[in-house]
Every structure is written in C-alpha cells, then in structure tokens.
Amino acid sequence: MSELHDEDDRPRSLTNRQVLAFMAGHWLREPGRFALIIALVLVATVCDLSIPWATRGLINAVSSPERVTAAAWAAWAALSALYLTFYMSRTSMFRIMNGFYARIMSRMVKEGFARVQAYSSDWHASNFAGATVRRVSRAMWGYDSASDALIAMLIPTVLVLGGLAISLGLHWPWAGVFVAIVVLVFAAYNVLMSVYYVRPANLRSTALDSEIGAALADSIGANPTVKSFGAEQREEARFAETADAWRWAVNKTWDRFNVVGFGQNILLIILQAGLTGFLVHAWSQGRATPGDVAFAITSFIVMAGYMRNFSEITQMLQKGLDDMLDVATYMRTNRSSWTSRALRSFAVRWARSSSIASPSATPTSRARSTRTSAWRSRRASGSPWSGPPARASRPSSSSSSGFTICRAAGS
C-alpha cells in the first residue's frame, strides 16, 4: 500500500467561514423556502422583543390607582396575542424546516458519496474505508446541528439581545449602554473562545472519532484473517488504544466547553445585577414605575434565556461545522486532481522499476521511456488523455508495471 495520508497528510485547512459558505450553498438551492423560514424566524423574534413592553403595559395598568379595567384587559390581550403569534410562528418554522433539512441532508450525503467514489484507486487505497464512511455519514448530522444552531438559535439571539439593548437605551441611556457593553463582550468572548480555544480540541476529537470507525471497519472486515492468526487479543488491544485516545480527546473538548460556560455565567451575573440594580435605583428616586421595573426584570429574563443557551449554541455550531468539514473539503477538491496525482505517481514508479530491472538501456526501452515521458507531460499539462503508452498496455513478465498504469487510468 502506498503511504497513508488519512489524517496527518489529508488537508484540514478549511475555515469556519468556508464551511459556512458550503452550508449556505445548500440553503440557496431552495431560495423560496429558505426565505420563508427566515421570515418566520423574524416574526418570532419581533414577538420576543415585544413581550417585555407588553408586560410593562399590563403591570402599569393593574397598578394604576384609577383601576381602568379596559386598559388592563387591552394589555392582557396584547400580551396573549404576542405569545400566540410567537409559538405559532416557531411551530410553523420547524414544520417547514423538517422537509427542507431532510432534502439537504440527503443531497449532501449523496453528493459526498459521488465525489468520494470519483477519486482514484490510489486515494481509496491510501484512506481507511471505515473512516471515510464515518466522515460522509457524519456530515449530514453535522449540518442538522449547525443549521439549527444558526437559524433557529443564533440569529434570534443576536436580534433579541441587540433589540432589547436598544429598547433600554431609548428610555434609560446609561442602562442601554451598560447592556450593550455586556452583550458585546459576551458575544466576542464566545466567538474568540470557540474559534481559538475550543475548535483545536474539537477537531482532534472529531478526527479520533473517525479513527474509531476506521479501526472497527478494517478489523471486522479482516476478521477471518485475524482468526487465522489467532490475533484477537492483539486487535482488541489496538482498538482499545484508539478508543482511549478518543476518550482523552473528547474529555478535553468537553472540559473546554465547560470553561467557556463558566465565563458566560459570570457575565450573566454581571448583567442581572447591573440592570436590575439600575432600575431599582431609578424607582427609589421616583424616575421609574413598577411597570418599568417589571420591564427590566422581564428583559433580563428574556436575555438570560438566550444568553444561557449561547454556550449550547456555540457547541452545536462548532461541532456541526467540524463534522461537515470533511465533506466540504471533498466538494472543493477537483474531481480529476486525485486521479492525475495517482497517474503521475504510478508513472514514476513504473519508470523507476523499468530502469532498475534493465540497467543497460536498449533502443526498445529507450523508446518506451520516451513515450512514457511524453504521456506524463500531456497528463501534467491537462491535455485530454488518449490512452496509455503503446507498449504499456501489453503486460509482460519483464514489465508488469505497465498494466498497473492502464488500470489506474481507468479508475
């Protein structure tokens, strides 16, 4: 077997932005349905932004000394209508996303399989079949996690946090500035920690997850050979070593997510203490009503709910992008690049083996070498392939490498 480039030599250089572009390309294949999903997300987000204001109106209505019943019922109806619209739009969004996701996931795995199948025999000989299967099948579930995290969670989170910071700033400028600073620090902290602290460990555990599949598939596929040599214990020890390496790597990844979550909780405590403390101080000086205090508390509850989920969102998004990384890399690879590379590799080996087998060059061998060099030059320049060298297509006892070249060219 040729040298393996299954993990160390296989390029894993795509950035998060490139994998996101790959995922967005699948979204834009159905622009109408995608636009409808985004519209429903925006409707639900607007409802979420309006709930603190509706709560403020209801509290002010029921705490008014005049006891205006009509105003209280109107505020109650507005709050109830907002909740009804919110849940109906979210439910409709997920209903549409079911078919949308299913089609994309099916298309992603089919196209990934087609691209892998188009690679040369040399590529398949140099990559573990079990690991390749795991990479292709894992991509569709990675899309499911990443797309959920981005569309259904991250977009509403950013809009709600930014909208509430602006709402607070319109009535209490310093409170709005305080909330905006905490939200910006929170977002920057999560993005930077996810990319530079969590992602390296997550890539390592994802790669070892592929190695587990590779070790299982190759060992079970060669089980008759293992039994014939009585090597069951050796195979068990080899697989246990791979599984233990994955266990340490995934434990390190989860610990890093936990560290990120701890920092998020600190920022949440700062936001809660600062926002509610500011409104209580304003109430004590007669600059805020009970409804205003209820508005601040409700705003914090809404923001805390989204910010608390930010840790899970970043975990889901980063893991989903890493799971799609391999198929995204496959789809960015030219179909003929691996075949051309394999043909050049086999041609070099064939030329070397011919020169070693026949040190004294004869006119016939020199002619064969000239034809092989011309054929390799045409392949390197991208010219259409018109067949292998004339003598290479007839295997003989003195040169079996020529037959290998013909097989690679057809693969």
Do residue 134 and residue 268 come from a single domain? yes
Higher-confidence position of 267 and 407 = 267
Which residue would you say has higher pLDDT here, 290 or 377?
290
AA letter at 31: P
Average pLDDT over residues 303-316: 77
Domain containing 268 — which CATH number? 1.20.1560.10
pLDDT at 38: 94
Same domain, 322 and 344: no
Per-position b or e across 6-45, b if 16+ CB within 10 A of its CB: ebeebeeebebeebbebbeebbeeeeeebebbeebbebbb
Residue 170 lies in a domain: yes
Look up the domain containing 379 and give its range.
Answer: 339-410
Q: Which residue has the higher pLDDT, 258 or 339?
A: 258
Mean pLDDT (the chain, rounded)? 77
| 7 domain residue, yes or no | no
Whether residue 382 lies inside any domain: the answer is: yes
By CB atoms closer than 10 A (0-12, 13-18, 19+), residue 131 is buried
Nearest to 274 by CA among 256, 250, 299, 251: 299
Q: Single out the residue in 266, 301, 333 at which a domain terminates.
A: 333
Domain boundary among 333, 367, 393: 333
Domain match, 240 and 381 both: no
Q: Is residue 327 part of a domain?
A: yes
Tokens representing 50? 């309006």
Q: Is the pLDDT confidence value at 4 over 70? A: no
Q: What is the per-residue pLDDT for 334?
A: 64
- pLDDT at position 58, please? 85
Per the domain annotation, does 3 fall within a domain?
no
pLDDT in tens, 139-195: 888 899 899 988 988 888 888 888 888 888 887 888 888 888 988 898 888 888 887
Same domain, 147 and 240: yes
User: Which helix H or strand E contains 227, and what residues bound it?
Assistant: helix 223-228
DSSP code for 333: S
Whether residue 344 sits in one domain with residue 323: no
With beta carbons less than 8 A apart as the criterion, state whether 212 and 246 touch.
yes
- Of 125 and 25, the structure prediction assigns the larger pLDDT to 25
CB-count exposure of residue 244 (10 Å: 0-12, 13-18, 19+): exposed
The single residue listed with the structure tokens 């199948």 is 117
Q: What's the pLDDT score for residue 89?
A: 93
* pLDDT score, position 5: 44
In a domain, 10, yes or no: no
Lowest mean pLDDT, pick from 181-185, 285-289, 290-294, 381-385? 381-385
Q: Cα dist. 107→104, 110, 139, 143, 205 in Å?
A: 5, 5, 11, 11, 26
Contact 311, 260 (CB under 8 A): yes
Alpha-carbon distance 200 to 198, whole Å?
6
Looking up tokens 């599984």 gives 243
215 pLDDT above the threshold of 60: yes
- What's the pLDDT at 335? 55
Q: Which residue shows structure tokens 């299982």?
A: 216
Q: In this structure, are residues 392 and 406 in contact, taking their beta carbons and an 8 Å threshold? A: yes
> How confident is the model over 91-104, as a mean pLDDT?
93
One domain, residues 150 and 105:
yes
Q: What percent of the chain shows pLDDT beyond 90?
A: 14
154 lies in the same domain as 205: yes
Residue 68: its pLDDT value, please?
67
pLDDT of 36 above 90? yes
For residues 192 and 252, state if they share a domain: yes
Q: How far is CA 73 from the centre of its chain?
A: 47
> How many structural domains is the chain composed of?
2
CA distances from residue 15 to 195, 289, 313, 318, 331 in whole angstroms, order as listed? 10, 50, 18, 11, 14
- Shared domain check, 183 and 55: yes
Angle at which helices 290-308 and 31-62 cross, to 10°: 150
pLDDT digits (tens, 9 = 90+) for 312-345: 787 788 888 888 888 888 888 765 554 455 455 5
Place of tokens 């000394």: 65
Q: 27 is written with which tokens?
A: 């979204």
Q: Are residues 320 and 343 in the same domain?
A: no
Residue 9 lies in a domain: no
**Terminal alpha carbon distance of the chain:** 16
Do 375 and 316 share a structural domain? no
Res 397: pLDDT: 40
**Tally of CA atoms within 13 A in the half-sphere of 52 that contains its CB:** 22
Q: How confident is the model at residue 351 (pLDDT cuts 50, 70, 90)?
A: low
